[in-house]
Amino acid sequence: MSPRNMKRLKELLLVLLILGVGNFLFFSKVLTSCGVFVAGDYGGSDFTDFFLSVKYFLNQSFQEKKLPLWSAQMGGGFPLLDEGQVQAFFPLNLLFLIFPFYFVSSLSFLLPVFLSGLSFYFFLRTLKLGFLSCLFGAIAYSFSAPLILHLKHPPITSTIIFLPLELALIFRFLETKKGQILVLLSLFMGLKFLAGSPQLAILFTLFSGCFFLFLGLVNSTFPRKKALIHGELLKTLFRLILSFLLVSLLGMALASLQLFPTFSLLLISERTQSFSFEEMKKFSLIAKSLTTFLIPYSLENPARLPAYFELGKYPFFWETNLYVGVLTFIFGVFGFLLLGKNKVISFFLFSFLITLLLAFGPNTPAGFLFRLPFFKGFRVPGRFLTLSCFSLVTVSSFFFEFLFYQQLPKFIKSWAKILAVLAISALVLDLFYFGFNYNSAVLAEDFEKPPKAVSFLKEARKTEDPFSERVFSYNYVRAYNFILIYNRGWQKNPEVFLSYQEMLPPNSNLLYNLSSTIPYAGMRIGRSLILNQLLFDSVFARYLQEPASVHPGLVNLLKLSNTKYFLSPVPIKAKGLKQIFAVRSPYRDLNYKLYQVENVLPRVFIVPKAKYLDSLQAIQQELIKENFDPKTWVFIEEPNRWGNSDSTFGSQVEIIKNEDENLSLKADLVDKGFLVLADTFHQNWKAKVDGKETKILRANLNFRAIPLSAGQHTVEFFYDPQPLKTGAKISLVAFIIWLGLFLLMII
């Protein structure tokens, strides 16, 4: 090995050691105590409410050697793999096959931070910066606000890993013109889309494309005037655009096994509607947010709230924070002095300003952009800050190089390395002070203990079917906010999350093998969301200690959705609801009451009559009527050509096979009727009656129904994910093409 390569190897090993030790110390609260990482939001915790629960389901699926296609326990049924954030195909999740669940869940926070720092180091090294400058940038990037404040969102932190790698490969390709680099770039693009944040992945792809075009044009050697006359500039631009499009398409084709299912869910989700400006403003910068460049908690600190906290006064903290370290910001500002001296610096200075402007969303005159087709899908304009901070750290690293290796006076040049190390040390202390206590941990053994209400339910439930007798958690958001404000955040007392678990927030039921009525996800099925809203709107509670007013149709909605248990932080008085258990919390005015819904309908039942309703509004109005009888009528969305009967009294249906993706039934009808299954309607579900495939009707807004004639029948519901199958075929073909290209380029 040459001395130069030996030196680079030693530097790489040193970077691995520094980043490894730094990450271990930063996450020591979790790693040394076998803890569960917790970080809050307003109204709940994306980590404990969603990511921990779905990763548990992923872990269980992997142990059973299958994919997490559909969870029947999650909100009456949910296409979990389609949602994408479970990261079913992301390589890091293979660790679930090797290590215990809670250990891997902790690693899912540490590894993206470590790998992001390492990839940023490679990026700066590719740009020919010195070792200490690269180390400075790697530390600033990996412990900056976009990563540390989003640790509760593993798909975001996992996606961030790939941006520096993409830009490094682009720079290297344009420098060497080696085709295998583009082939490798397509692989990283594919992995980026498997990380679980498609919107951020698209944003990074566009950014990489701009970098590719910019460097490709400025590196071209043709004379400018002659190029314009002969069209050389346009030809070069066309070749660059075509090259990047082909690379991007190959990368997306590699990820098609995830992208196709995600797109199919998008088409039926609430995301088909563009977001209002008011919604976007919650996640956009305001002028005061700029103070977080120097003082990260200048506006608020959710982990440590003041005595009088006004919820919603400022945009969401973790989406609009700009902190990358005081030194990083100062060096970045002085980096403007280098404008024009280096084409890469010029690109990142302009990209910093443009993405910072876009992060203001509708709060600037440029807000009209968010009415355009592409931008109006951005619910969180603050995500542009990921690119702003990336650009700022890059420019700062260049100025670090300029300052300590080029501009120091001669009499202290011998001290350059010492001064550079001191600057890096100051940055480390600064970023540790910023982020170390923001995220907390609780002992895994404490988190594994089932809440008291769950322990009671385990004994009270009279069925062996884990997918039936669902639990509806009402006003869990209000309970969480009460606990959060009462404790002034979670920094001093991370056990607030344990108390909050008593409300059994949506998806946490997966940890305890129970079924919930409502799901919590980044993309929810539109009809499921409407049903959830009907349930929430049927109860109104002004104060926690006062009985809530209840719409007369609430109990019918609970009955037909197979919801047997109603958990609430406020007292409920309604006919058909009976309190069976209560949990006293350590907080005054907050106690949890568990109610049982009387005469709840089973998960699958027979009704004699079906009524066609031609609008969503009509269905909703009928469902919440007090006199609606779900035992007699089912509402369908196409004309009833099968006819009704007077009664199906005495008809029976029995569950024979009961799995997440397969349900077999035996039905015996005394007269023709409709079999109603109180599970979420989804186009991937198919049905067979007596071995012949039959159409599933959308029933009661979001459930399923099948018309049956009198007599005995065998009915089978099975999950058939066609988008996944199509995407997998495309991914397989793309991988064969990719492998062939890679081998060809190497040879």
> Domain boundary at 557, 582, 597, which?
597
673-686 residues labelled b (16+ CB within 10 A) or e (exposed): bbbbbbbbbbebbe
Are 434 and 512 within one domain? no
Are 454 and 588 within one domain? yes
Q: Is residue 118 part of a domain?
A: yes
Q: Which element (helix H / strand E) includes 353? A: helix 343-359
Are 155 and 249 within one domain? yes
Mean pLDDT of 94-109: 85
Does residue 371 carry a pLDDT above 80?
no
Q: Indicate the range of 220-234, 549-563, 732-746 predicted with least confidence.
A: 220-234
Q: Is residue 460 part of a domain?
A: yes
Q: Residue 504's closest CA among 609, 376, 592?
A: 592
Q: Residue 690's closest CA among 716, 717, 670, 671?
A: 716
Give the rounded percent of residues in the chain with a pLDDT score beyond 90. Answer: 57
3-state secondary structure of 55: helix
Q: Report the C-alpha dihedral over residues 348, 352, 358, 359, rounded to 10 degrees.
A: 130
Tokens of 285: 């910068």
What is the spatial distance between Cα 668 and Cα 712, in angstroms, rounded to a whole number? 4
> How high is the pLDDT of residue 83?
92
> How high is the pLDDT of residue 418?
86
Residue type, 22: G
> How high is the pLDDT of residue 307?
61
Place of tokens 């970080």: 39
Tell me: the pLDDT tens digits for 16-75? 999 999 999 998 887 776 677 777 777 778 888 888 899 999 999 999 999 999 999 999
> How high is the pLDDT of residue 459?
83
Are 130 and 145 within one domain? yes
Mean pLDDT of 721-729: 97
Are 208 and 356 within one domain? yes
Q: Residue 724's closest CA among 88, 74, 43, 273?
A: 88
Tokens of 226: 């002659």
pLDDT band at 226 (very low <50, low <70, confident <90, very high): low
24 Cβ contact list (under 8 Å, min separation 6): 31, 110
Strands ordered across the beta sheet of 692-694: 652-659, 662-669, 711-719, 685-689, 692-694
Mean pLDDT of 465-483: 86
Are 608 and 696 within one domain? yes
Q: Is residue 60 part of a domain?
A: no
Average pLDDT, the chain: 89
**Structural contact between residues 611 and 637, judged by C-beta atoms closer than 8 angstroms:** no
> How high is the pLDDT of residue 414?
67
Are 236 and 99 within one domain? yes
Q: Which residue has the higher pLDDT, 252 or 31?
A: 252
Tokens of 570: 């406020």
What is the spatial distance between Cα 145 and Cα 325, in angstroms, rounded to a whole number? 9
3-state secondary structure 201-261: HHHHHHHHHHHHHHHHHHCCCCCHHHHHHHCHHHHHHHHHHHHHHHHHHHHHHHCHHHHHH
Q: Report the C-alpha dihedral over residues 295, 297, 298, 299, rounded to 10 degrees.
A: 150
Q: Indicate the range of 16-20, 38-42, 143-147, 532-536 predicted with least confidence.
A: 38-42
Tell me the Cα Rg of the chain. Answer: 28
Tell me: the pLDDT tens digits for 630-681? 999 999 999 999 999 988 888 999 999 999 999 999 999 999 999 999 999 9
Q: Which element (helix H / strand E) includes 21? A: helix 3-26
Q: Is residue 360 part of a domain?
A: yes
- The answer, as to whether pTM is greater than 0.75, is yes
Are 663 and 618 within one domain? yes
What is the spatial distance between Cα 39 and Cα 48, in angstroms, rounded to a whole number? 8
Q: Give how far the C-alpha of residue 477 lies from the chain's centroid of Cα atoms, to the nearest Å.
A: 18
Calculate the alpha carbon distances from 71 to 54, 82, 341, 719, 735 in Å. Answer: 9, 11, 56, 11, 29
Total count of domains within the chain:
3
Calculate the alpha carbon distances from 200 to 157, 522, 570, 627 in Å. Answer: 10, 13, 39, 48
Are 490 and 555 within one domain? yes
Are 96 and 174 within one domain? yes
Tell me: the pLDDT tens digits for 163-179? 999 999 999 999 998 98
Are 569 and 474 within one domain? yes
Are 229 and 292 within one domain? yes
> Domain boundary at 386, 408, 441, which?
441
Residue type, 337: L
3-state secondary structure of 262: helix
> How high is the pLDDT of residue 408?
65
What is the spatial distance between Cα 90 and Cα 41, in angstroms, rounded to a whole number? 25
- Which stretches does DSSP call E strand in 445-586? 470-473, 539-540, 549-550, 563-568, 577-584
Q: Is residue 78 part of a domain?
A: no
Q: Is residue 466 part of a domain?
A: yes
Q: What DSSP designation does 400 have?
A: H
What is the spatial distance between Cα 427 and Cα 448, in angstroms, rounded to a whole number? 37
Range of the domain at 637: 604-722
674 Cβ contact list (under 8 Å, min separation 6): 606, 607, 608, 609, 610, 634, 642, 697, 699, 705, 706, 707, 708
Q: Is residue 747 part of a domain?
A: no
Q: Can you spell out the DSSP letters for 85-152?
A: TT-TT-GGGGGGGTS-HHHHHHHHHHHHHHHHHHHHHHHHHHTT--HHHHHHHHHHHHTSHHHHTTTT
> Domain boundary at 410, 441, 472, which?
441
CATH of residue 662: 2.60.40
Residue type, 626: E
Q: Is residue 744 part of a domain?
A: no
